Amino acid sequence: MHENNTWSGRFNEPVSELVKTYTASVSFDQRMAECDIQGSLAHAQMLNRAKVLSDEDLAAIQQGMAELLNDIRSGQFEWRVDLEDVHMNIEKRLTDKIGDAGKRLHTGRSRNDQVATDIRLYLRGAIDTTCQLLRDLQRALLELAAPHAATVMPGFTHLQVAQPVTFGHHLLAYVEMLARDEERMLDCRKRVNRLPLGAAALAGTTFPIDRQYTAQLLGFDDVCQNSLDAVSDRDFAIEFTAAASLVMVHLSRLSEELILWMSPRVGFIDIADRFCTGSSIMPQKKNPDVPELVRGKSGRVTGHLLALLMLMKSQPLAYNKDNQEDKEPLFDTIDTLIDTLRIYADMMRGITVKADAMRSAVLQGFATATDLADYLVKKGLPFRDSHEVVARAVRHAEQAGCDLADLPLEVLQQFSSQIEQDVYHVLTPEGSLAQRDHLGGTAPAQVQAQIARHQARLGEA
């Protein structure tokens, strides 16, 4: 009898040591050990209810699994590469402990539906953690936005000064993105939370199993309805990685802005020292390493998405060994995303805002030019004509080296006789903000209302 006695009766020679090492997954799938035990206990309880497994065997399995769980949590469990994966390691140790009852546990299932169940259990927990962290990051952004609902900063298009906004309004854009990210994660969870167990290898089993009962024990909302599909597709993992990629892309965009804002040439913010590093040669440097790494790690996660898509694209039904390659990109995506969200919330709570620098930047780019155009339209001038008038006024102010609001009234009236003294109410950054007092606008009152809405939605931590 060859060493791997779960299937070696079919073969005339043992698997080579090179193949054992190449095909083994226990080095990375052992992180699903608790999920594997959870699934096995539910399966055993279902088999017992179906009169396939005796009360004595069930009790022995439950006791043995409890001991194995303690060994795993305490680090005393010895993982063996020759046993290939997390499932066979646990089953072998269980059988060593309790004898034949351990051998009966695998009745009515296959490693194919077992691993599909373990991944879903593990991913379900990861999604729940991710959603909690997304909410905490949204709270951190709101905490920073609240005192800056009226803090003027330049809004940009094409990285050129466009119109005045408030810093609070700017941050709320990312709160909206992260709220959608949370929605995507919760929607993904619905499809993750379906039970494959009972599909067996690919065609189901001849034993009188009760899949709905197993699903109830494991907290699944439903069961996978087709046995071939249940064991072979990993679209739920791909969907999660796509949602994770979007989170990382959103955080990469915010990271890019934090990096620009912290540059001395911009000087809008400062990031707390604990999130930065210095230079080995330039003593004056303070580098924003955390947002830079987040920007880089976004490529890592989107790369995992592509890897999983390519993994599935040419597989015939049903299970294939290719699917062993689903775990490392999925696990690294989970780890990267969770670590990033944790550190990002902490970092946002360590940001200092330089409001004076933000306001000064607004005055450098004729940010109220559109307000002047709107002013003229309200006076009766067609928009295209007002656009031309303002463009000429901007050119004059640029040559004079001043802002539109600094031009004397008589100079402004050279461009349009419809300009009156009240124009200066709209040419200041604060006046510009106040004009945009509508749902979704950047007026401080609207920003405060949006902050209150999000705080009510998120509730207490």
- Does a structural domain hold residue 124? yes
| Residue percentage of the chain with pLDDT more than 70 | 97
- Indicate if 356 and 367 belong to the same structural domain: no
- Indicate if 50 and 181 belong to the same structural domain: no
- Does a structural domain hold residue 5? no
Q: What is the pLDDT of residue 365?
A: 84
Q: Give phi and psi for 271, each to the nearest 5.
A: -100, 135
Statement: residue 12 has pLDDT above 90: no
User: Pick from 54, 74, 107: which residue ends a domain?
Assistant: 107
d(CA 373, CA 366): 12
CB 444 within 8 A of CB 433: yes
Range of the domain at 20: 15-107
- Does a structural domain hold residue 455? no
- Does a structural domain hold residue 410? yes
Of 345, 337, 294, 353, the closest CA to residue 170 belongs to: 353
Q: What is the pLDDT of residue 364?
A: 87
Statement: residue 8 has pLDDT above 70: no
- Does a structural domain hold residue 4? no
Statement: residue 424 has pLDDT above 50: yes
Annotation marks residue 2 as catalytic = no
- Does a structural domain hold residue 10? no
Of the residues 27, 54, 263, 279, which is catalytic?
279
The count of other CB atoms within 10 Å of the CB of residue 30 is 16
d(CA 385, CA 123): 58
Statement: residue 261 has pLDDT above 80: yes
pLDDT in tens, 200-209: 999 999 999 9
Q: ω before 391 within 30° of 0 (cis)?
A: no
Query: Residue 282 corresponds to which tokens in the numbers above?
Result: 């330039």
pLDDT in tens, 302-360: 999 999 999 999 999 999 999 999 999 999 999 999 999 999 999 999 999 999 999 99
Report the pLDDT averaged over residues 52-78. 98
Three-state SS at 202:
coil
Report the pLDDT averaged over residues 181-199. 98
d(CA 430, CA 152): 7
- Indicate if 291 and 200 belong to the same structural domain: yes
d(CA 89, CA 129): 27
- Indicate if 200 and 119 belong to the same structural domain: yes
- Indicate if 79 and 137 belong to the same structural domain: no
Q: Give phi and psi for 194, each to the nearest 5.
A: -125, 135
CB 148 within 8 A of CB 353: yes
- Indicate if 312 and 369 belong to the same structural domain: no
CATH of the domain at 101: 1.10.275.10
> Which residues contact residue 401 at a Cβ distance below 8 angstroms, ignoring those fewer than 6 apart?
none
CATH of the domain at 274: 1.20.200.10
Query: Is the entire prediction scored with pTM above 0.75?
Result: yes
Of the residues 16, 158, 314, 417, which is catalytic?
158
Cα 38 to Cα 34, 138, 445: the distances in Å are 6, 33, 51
Q: What is the pLDDT of residue 423?
A: 94
Torsional sign, CA 122, 125, 129, 130: positive
- Indicate if 284 and 405 belong to the same structural domain: no
Report the pLDDT averaged over residues 8-12. 67
User: Pick from 317, 345, 360: which residue ends a domain?
Assistant: 360
- Indicate if 272 and 139 belong to the same structural domain: yes
Report the pLDDT averaged over residues 95-103. 98
CB 198 within 8 A of CB 50: no
Of 234, 245, 249, 247, the closest CA to residue 309 belongs to: 234
Query: Residue 439 corresponds to which tokens in the numbers above?
Result: 């749902």
Count Cα atoms within 13 angstroms, Cβ side, for 412.
Answer: 23
- Indicate if 204 and 318 belong to the same structural domain: yes
- Indicate if 84 and 131 belong to the same structural domain: no
User: Pick from 76, 107, 138: which residue ends a domain?
Assistant: 107
pLDDT in tens, 220-254: 999 999 999 999 999 999 999 999 999 999 999 99
- Does a structural domain hold residue 7? no
CATH of the domain at 373: 1.10.40.30
- Indicate if 297 and 346 belong to the same structural domain: yes
Q: ω before 318 within 30° of 0 (cis)?
A: yes
DSSP state of 225: S
> Which residues contact residue 113 at a Cβ distance below 8 angstroms, ignoring those fewer than 6 apart?
196, 197, 198, 199, 200, 201, 230, 231
pLDDT in tens, 78-96: 999 999 999 999 999 999 9
- Indicate if 100 and 119 belong to the same structural domain: no
Q: Please state the domain count of the chain.
A: 3
Q: What is the pLDDT of residue 7?
A: 55
Amino acid in the structure at residue 340: T
Annotation marks residue 250 as catalytic = no
